[in-house]
Copies of this chain bind each other. A is one copy, B any other.
Amino acid sequence: MRKDRADERAAALRLMHRRSKAAEAKPARTRAGATPRLRTPEARSEIAVTTHESVYRGLRNRILFGGFLPGSAVTLRGLAEDMGVSPMPIREAVRRLIAERALKMQDNRRVLVPPMTQETFEQIVFARKTLEPELAVRAMDRIGPAEIRRIVAHDKAVDRAMAMSDVHGYMESNFRFHFAIYEHAGADTLLALVESIWLQFGPFMRMAYNRWGTSDLEDQHQAAIAALQRRDRKALRAAIAADVSQGMSFIGETVLRRSS
């Protein structure tokens, strides 16, 4: 009941790291320290990223697209083994995600994916309905045909994933659809708030879709796309608000138990 985690995961990970201190006399070791400039074999060539950064992105996506169950525990050393890096960059990535409220550290100092409560969920809905239509409207003026084409592509990917009941694919494409719009608002400060919000309901969203599948979700994205093309502010605002409302009430009703 404890070993399973270590066992089944140990097999799947890239094992380019050496944990045991056995191999001590190795002469030509990279010899620790500094940034080895990307560890994944498929060298991303140009842009140099810190290990911490790529770990952060990995965890972030996993949270955002439902790779973690709400309430599940997370340990520094465990993640380090899973991702084939030392605990150090994990610490920084986790600290960062805790600050963004994607993870939570309890008084035990144990880290976990925060479980959802009715109150938190309600606040998330409020924040989304307040901020996201605003971001969309601000983005409208800076969205041309090229951007619309990309947005539509994400929406198509959403439909495809829904048809295949691919929950992860749905969540990823849905995220990309929304943020392909928002990112053009030129409003980094507001965007950061919304990203933090999405990180908080990602794992929870996955629970809902796991339970019911994604197929009976109406696609509210069409209205938003049409509004973008018509440059109709009011309609865009309404479309985004409706999408948020519908999606969130579906999730909320599916997973949250009556508790009042």
Contacts and interface: CB of A to CB of B under 8 A. Distances in A.
Contacts of A130: 130-131
Nearest to A99: B99
B192 A119 contact: no
A21 to B, nearest CB: 18
A126 interface: yes
A193 interface: yes
Interface string A71-101: 0000000000000000000011001111111
Interface string A181-204: 000001111101100110010000
A96 B189 CA distance: 16
B189 A120 contact: yes
A187 B123 contact: yes
Contacts of A197: 189, 193
A241 to B, nearest CB: 14
Contacts of A244: none
Interface residues of A, number: 28
A217 interface: no
For the complex formed by this chain, how many copies does it contain in all? 2
Q: Is the interface of A mostly helix, strand, loop or mixed?
A: helix
A92 to B, nearest CB: 5
Interface in A59-75: none
A134 B122 CA distance: 13
A193 B197 CA distance: 9
A64 to B, nearest CB: 15
B99 A189 contact: no
Interface in A127-147: 127, 130-131, 134
A151 to B, nearest CB: 22
A124 interface: yes
Contact of A189 (B92, B95, B101): B101
Given A96-B99, A189-B200, 8 more contacts: A92-B95, A96-B96, A96-B98, A101-B189, A123-B188, A124-B189, A130-B130, A193-B193
